[in-house]
Amino acid sequence: MKTYDIIVIGGGMMGTSCAYYLTQEGLKVALIERGDIAGGTVSHTDGYIGASEKQPGVDSMQGAESMKLFDEMRKTFDYDFEYATNENDDPIGFVYFCDSEFEFEKAKEQVAKNQALGIEQYAVDPYILQQLEPNCAKDLTGGMWVPKDGAVCPFRVAFGFVEEAKKTGLLDVFTRTEVLDIKQDPNTKAVQGVVTDKGEFAAPKVVNAAGCWAPFIGAMVGMEVPIEPRFGQLTVSEKTGKITQNRLALEYGYYLTKFFQDGERPIDPLVKAYNVCLNITSDITGNTVVGGCRLFRGFSIKSEYRIISAVAQRGIRYYPMLKDFNCIRSFAGIRPFSLDHLPIVSDVEEVPGFYMACGHEGDGITLGPITGKLISQYATGKPLQFELAKELAWSRWQGRDIAAYKKKEEENSKALKAVEEAYLASLEK
């Protein structure tokens, strides 16, 4: 039987990053993916990276730490992962639009908190907003600018991790190979390896980097993992040229709805029914990519045409010139949503040799590097990359009532469904 120092389950952003950083520590690693590398959520996503789309504190700080690693990677990787930069080689930045005093106040609060943490972020008045994004609507209340946030090509980052890790000769990659079970010592519960549909592999350490499917892997070692799939959908326009100037423009409601606190946005019933908020970028290809939404649809990744209409409507609200362009395609994905809004990154005391690298919801592209780095430090007993890392540990769930978290999520999900159903009923009248 093939034997490794550590086996990583899942060839998405987290799994490939873990594989890379673990090989950098000199460990012999097997990466096991049931489909193809980057075939999961990481290829149904945008590639925006940064600290701003997260709650101030450990959440925004892990984003800032990961950005430092991206900066290192772009200098050291031979594999190009399309890190978007401007002529000064800086990331091109995010701009947020506030459509009410409520949103502008919330944005100012966020700016104050993140600035205190050393994250560069500014509240801007409507005049500055127009300088930053000349094509945006003229009647906005204000905005927020985050010059150091940027973008990458997500699946190229995953391929890049694999290609760079292979250079050490310490990585074996098994695609089209599904993990069916995890072997454990019956007395100590320590992991001993994995059982797959292609045979068994031995290792004293195993990483759960299975994204939305992490609960199924956790169940193999008796864990209840509080992660649910949270649906998102993006629409691509025909060639528009450069409508947005920054790497990403978003309505501030995008940030607020992520954390279920959007107040009452001044929006159309269609937009409300599908919980749609604008994020938009004119890509290097000349197409404009517009999103998005947050819904609970189980594991479905089927695009829905009403969401395309709602996204288009939101796009036109903020960039009126979009009304003259057609959509050419749409795609959807599921975010691995951890029920307390923070990823789970650590070892697992009750299952020796088992590690969690999952639950990154809408931030897994940003957080790929820091997650892999932290797992490599847990696995080798080295000091952790940043001081707040312990707040991401699995141990925070010990003693929590997971059923209560699930119930709350079900209520949120039902409330969203009720708004959608009321909208659909109104169409029939």
Ligand X SMILES: Cc1cc2nc3c(=O)[nH]c(=O)nc-3n(C[C@H](O)[C@H](O)[C@H](O)COP(=O)(O)OP(=O)(O)OC[C@H]3O[C@@H](n4cnc5c(N)ncnc54)[C@H](O)[C@@H]3O)c2cc1C
**Rounded CA separation 377/21 (Å):** 9
Nearest to 237 by CA among 349, 130, 316, 120: 316
**Rounded CA separation 121/93 (Å):** 10
Q: How far is the CB of 66 from ligand X (least distance, A)?
A: 9
Query: Smaller CB distance to ligand X: residue 143 or 229?
Result: 229
Q: For residue 72, what is the enclosing H or E element?
A: helix 58-76
For the chain, what is the radius of gyration of the CA atoms?
21
Who contacts 213 (Cβ-Cβ below 8 Å, separation ≥6)?
A: 10, 40
Query: Smaller CB distance to ligand X: residue 93 or 333?
Result: 333
Q: How far is the CB of 335 from ligand X (least distance, A)?
A: 5
172: which 2 tokens? Answer: 């074996």
Query: Smaller CB distance to ligand X: residue 141 or 164?
Result: 164
Who contacts 418 (Cβ-Cβ below 8 Å, separation ≥6)?
A: none
* Side chain identity at residue 269, one-letter code: P
140: which 2 tokens? Answer: 């906005």
Q: How far is the CB of 324 from ligand X (least distance, A)?
A: 25
Angle between helices 154-166 and 364-380 (to 10 degrees): 30
Query: Smaller CB distance to ligand X: residue 41 or 246?
Result: 41
Q: How far is the CB of 226 from ligand X (least distance, A)?
A: 15
How many other CB atoms are found less than 10 A from the CB of residue 33? 27
Q: How far is the CB of 362 from ligand X (least distance, A)?
A: 5
Helices within 224-355 (DSSP H only): 252-258, 269-273, 305-318
Binding site for ligand X (CB under 6 A): 9-15, 32-35, 39-42, 44-49, 178-179, 209-213, 217, 232, 234, 292, 333-336, 358, 360-366
Question: Coil, strand or helix: which one is 95?
Answer: strand
Query: Smaller CB distance to ligand X: residue 323 or 329?
Result: 329
Query: Smaller CB distance to ligand X: residue 23 or 233?
Result: 233
Query: Smaller CB distance to ligand X: residue 15 or 147?
Result: 15
Q: For residue 328, what is the enclosing H or E element?
A: strand 327-338
Query: Smaller CB distance to ligand X: residue 15 or 142?
Result: 15
Contact of 175 with 35, CB cutoff 8 Å: yes
28: which 2 tokens? Answer: 């012999």
Q: How far is the CB of 58 from ligand X (least distance, A)?
A: 16
Query: Smaller CB distance to ligand X: residue 347 or 363?
Result: 363
Distances (CA, A) of 36 to 155, 175, 177, 363: 11, 5, 9, 21
Q: How far is the CB of 309 from ligand X (least distance, A)?
A: 17
**Rounded CA separation 32/8 (Å):** 6
Query: Smaller CB distance to ligand X: residue 141 or 379?
Result: 379
Query: Smaller CB distance to ligand X: residue 64 or 142?
Result: 64
Q: How far is the CB of 37 from ligand X (least distance, A)?
A: 8
Contact of 338 with 320, CB cutoff 8 Å: no
25: which 2 tokens? Answer: 């520590």
Number of Cα atoms under 13 Å in the Cβ half of residue 369: 23
Q: How far is the CB of 210 from ligand X (least distance, A)?
A: 4
Q: How far is the CB of 198 from ligand X (least distance, A)?
A: 11
Q: How far is the CB of 69 from ligand X (least distance, A)?
A: 13
**Rounded CA separation 316/64 (Å):** 32
